[in-house]
Structure 1
Amino acid sequence: MGGLLILPWLLLLAELGGAEAGGGTAMAMALRAEKTAAGAAPSKLFFKRDVTLTVSVTVGSPPQNLSMVLDTGSELSWLQCPGPAFRPNLSATYLAIPFANPACRDRTRDLPSPPFPNPSNRLCRVSVSYADGSSADGDLSSDVLRLGQAPAVRALFSCVQTPPSSPGAAGLLGLNQGSLSFISQMGAKKFSYCISAGSSDGVLLLGGVAPLVPLNYTPLVRISLPLPYFDRVAYSVQLEGIRVGAAVLPIPKAVLEPDHTGAGQTIVDSGTQFSFLLGPAYAVLKTEFLRQTRGLLAELGEPGFAFQGAFDTCFRLPAAAAPPREKLPTVALMLRGGAEVAVAAELLLYPAAGQLRRGGKEAVWCLTFGNSELVPLESYIIGHHHQQNLWVEYDLQLARLGFGPVRCDVAAQRLARLV
């Protein structure tokens, strides 16, 4: 992203300290190292991006330092306990919630499955399933959580013994719009993050600061009626079209909108790595991308191959060479209201680990848009890989999401020097 995009970020950062705008004092957090700022607001947290985004959190009394996955696609936060992650017996403020407690019934209303009594201890047992087939089953619990210099929040979460796979993390921090999400429990009206490319720190802001970069907004899509395939507490937006280079794909409007069952919603999800399109839209994107890269990229030519089971637009490249990123067409997801998520250069192709051809001379690289029907999913997903070098703002008060391109590594460095 060009230097012109950095300038407004730098100017606004100078005015950020202690700013408030409709949601209280802003708090900035890093999704990586456990760096916390001394002095005045905003406090900050930096995060690490790999297969997941992870943020440092302290839990309990005395505080235990833990790493949690940052997931805007989930409601219920969970921690692995007891065990090497969180040790409830060492926290004087830990509470397990009995099934008879009203919180077990009232606070779990947005979960897809109702709670049930744990037969071994009569505690409130909750279960959450994920699209990859994994699940998190645990007892509803409560303790004091704190991110950066933000005030401590007594929050409900699930204490699980056998967690889903989450490399390098002790648990998951749910940030969707459900009543049990951490954002809802802390009462935040706005939060935002910026995911850096590569191994640089990203930054997470909690609170109601004015936009730090110029943003284009798209309204959240809300459907009040319960539909079988519509997630009412997800951050759902309306996909209006897809552009490859200068070509807007000929995708019927009905393909991009939720149908009568709720299938076809578009979700912005920091807990998913790549992005997914429903089959009809994916097929059109695949055809056009192959057309525009003919002669530039050599197709893999193996109809049965799909990276991670869902990415089947793949290519063969010399093992020692990088893809011709600067020559690839940009793929833009066009959202209602004029906002868009533009995916270019190094974000378009991803190496399929361990996949070599011709005796190791060629590597396999795949387009980072997957076919939802191969997962299977009933929705469009915009994952965190395609949110790199974007300032993404979740404005809950005005029911909208904002997107603005910016060099996130520079933004995080400047914010780290604020206080």
Structure 2
Amino acid sequence: MANPLFRLCLISMAVLLHFNFSLSVKEDDTVLLPLKAQIISSGSVPNKLSFHHNVSLTVTLTVGTPPQSVTMVLDTGSELSWLHCKKTPGTPNSFDPTHSSSYSPIPCYSPTCRIRTRDFTVPVSCDARKLCHAVLSYADGSSAEGNLAGDTFRYGESTSSVLPGMIFGCMDSGWSSNPDEDSRTTGLIGMNRGSLSFVSQMGFSKFSYCISGSDSSGVLVFGEAKLPWLRPLNYTPLVKISLPLPYFDRVAYTVELEGIKVSGKILSLPKSIFVPDHTGAGQTMVDSGTQFSFLLGPVYAALKKEFSEQVRGILRPLGEVDFVFQGAMDVCYRVEMSRNVLPELPAVTLIFRGAEMVVAAERLMYRVPGMVRGNDWVYCMTFGNSDLIGMEAYVIGHHHQQNMWMEFDIANSRVGLAEVRCDLASQRLGL
């Protein structure tokens, strides 16, 4: 599976993005899932599922007939959902299609395997069995390969939670840049606006999630979340570009980033620096499949300079010029192990059109695992330099979405957000 720290994917596959299927879920229903999966009816939010998060956000569903449990990374930056398919007996964290009577591989002559789109541009490909061949490649060097197929997914015990004929990739080979994380999951659940995404196939035009910052829990809601205790959301519109551009992902959740401020001081940057250029490079994507957030080089440099100046005398710089965490983050400091909490730090605010996202406290600094200097921990700021890892985009990762109610309103082309205690939200929803 792709490293979720900076998983911007380049996908090549022969596949149709228009198909017919019937689901028992209605648009006016609400599905509430725990980002670990169980469905618990709760007032006006019947469709809910809890989830778990560490490096990735993961949700547990079942697939096939009889059902097999799978754990999938929740990824708003991807379209096609896919599973590791069992290649040899005893393979952990995999789906075995030979034990599912509802599994249906898609032949390469099927219309589902023919239409070319921006995401799937490779001509139709057949394997030796005349099945639709799929290859997914990610920017961090990881990959997955297999076949396109359909099967029944379930996210709960009720009949309305049964989703027959869901299209996904059944991957039987690949390699990963993060094998430890990969070994704990069965695959990936794609949640962008493309026709093959999980939410599109379900027939919902809206979904939400809330990620706790105090523990590893969360909640995922399909449909309308009518919650009296939820603060009114601030909405920012999705960017629409009608012309096909080589570096612009038209089915991503692309929002308008207008500026950044550090403790109330707005970085002195031209607004044009946040606007995609003539190639589409420079879009700002809300991506649950990426852990941290990334800024293009000039913006990252400006943030680094201002933040460093404001924490002078509060934090002690690491002082190692060549140290770069995860290949993209070099604003790092030494913090005494004896400290129970970080000192009070200036917040970094992302200014979107119509909404703001405040990044403070534990969301702003991250302790590098296993890194010790004398009696100090090593902490790095949780923004990375996109230029250092070859990304031509701004990416808002799930770490900065903690304790925010995040609503993806596909019907109205907007993303809503509001600060909330997500651990309490999960409790109120019975998860």
Question: AA paired with 2:100?
Answer: S
Write the distance in 1 (CA, Å) between the matches of 2:419 and 2:193: 24
- For residue 47 of structure 2, give the secondary structure of its aligned residue in structure 1: coil
Counterpart position of 2:386 = 372
The answer as to 2:161 corresponding to 1:158 is no
Aligned to 1:330: 347
CA distance in 1, matches of 2:394, 2:40: 37
Write the mapping of 1:348-359 to structure 2, written as runs, cut at 5 A.
348-358=364-374
Counterpart secondary structure, 1:120: coil
**Whole-angstrom CA distance in 2 between matches of 1:111 and 1:261:** 16
Give the corresponding residue for 2:132: 124
Name the structure 2 match of 1:35: 38
1:137 is aligned to: 145
Shift in Å, 1:129: 2.1
> Gapped runs of 5+ residues in structure 2?
1-25
How far residue 169 of structure 1 moved from its aligned partner, in angstroms, is 1.1
Alignment of 1:5-404 (within 5 A): 23-32=27-36, 34-37=37-40, 42-82=46-86, 83-84=91-92, 85-106=94-115, 109-114=117-122, 116-148=124-156, 149=158, 150-153=160-163, 154-163=165-174, 164=176, 165=178, 166-210=182-226, 212-322=230-340, 324-325=342-343, 327-337=344-354, 339-358=355-374, 361-404=375-418
For the structure 1 residues 222 and 318, does the alpha-carbon distance in structure 2 shift closer, same or farther, using more than 3 Å as the test? same
Q: 1:199 to 1:118 in 2, by over 3 A?
A: farther
Aligned letter for 1:399? S
Q: What displacement does 1:321 show? A: 2.5
Per mean C-alpha deviation after superposition, the further-off stretch among 397-406 and 140-149 is 140-149
Work out the CA distance in 1 between the residues paired with 2:118 and 2:377. 44
Deviations 1:133-154 (A, max 9, x none): 2122221011011223553222
| Counterpart residue type for residue 43 of structure 1 | N
Aligned-partner Cα distance in 2 for 1:172–1:297: 38
CA contact (8 A) 1:59 1:145 kept: yes
**Which stretch has the larger CA shift, 248-257 or 127-136?**
127-136
Q: Which structure 1 segments of 5+ residues have no match?
A: 1-21
Q: Is the 1:31–1:54 contact (alpha carbons within 8 Å) kept by the matching residues of 2?
A: yes
CA contact (8 A) 2:82 2:189 kept: yes
- How many angstroms does 1:118 deviate by? 3.7
For 2:410, the aligned partner's letter is: L
Q: Please state whether the residue corresponding to 1:416 is helix, strand or coil.
A: coil
1:319 to partner: Cα distance: 2.9
CA 1:143–1:316 in 2, change beyond 3 Å: closer, same or farther?
same
Distance in 2 of aligned mates of 1:131 and 1:177: 20
Counterpart in the other structure of 1:411: 425
Amino acid at match of 2:370: G
Q: Which deviations, in whole Å up to 9, do the C-alpha atoms of 1:49-101 show, x marking residues without a partner?
A: 10000001110111111111100000011100024310101110001111111
**Secondary structure at the counterpart of residue 65 of structure 1:** strand
CA-atom RMSD, angstroms?
1.8
Shift, 1:187, TM fit: 1.1
Structure 1 residue 115, shift from structure 2 partner: 5.3
Distance 2:337 2:349 in 1: 28
Q: Deviations over 1:16-53 (max 9, x none)?
A: xxxxxx94111100012x33226886032100010000
Native 8 Å contact 1:116 1:126 kept in 2: no
The Cα of 1:120 is off from its aligned counterpart by 2.5
The separation in 1 between residues aligned to 2:141 and 2:209, in whole angstroms, is: 28
Give the Cα–Cα distance (whole angstroms) in 1 for the partners of residues 66 and 203 of structure 2.
24
- Contact 1:269-1:381 at 8 Å conserved across structures: yes
Contact between 1:75 and 1:175, CA under 8 Å: does it hold in 2? yes
Equivalent position SS for 2:114: helix
Alpha-carbon shift at residue 199 of structure 1 (Å): 2.3
CA separation in 2, counterparts of 1:134 and 1:116?
22
- Give the stretch that moved more between structures: 112-121 or 374-383: 112-121
Provide the secondary structure at the position in 2 that maps to 1:117.
coil
Deviation of 1:170 (Å): 0.4
Q: 1:200 to 1:119 in 2, by over 3 A?
A: closer
- In 2: Cα distance, 1:131 partner to 1:197 partner: 28
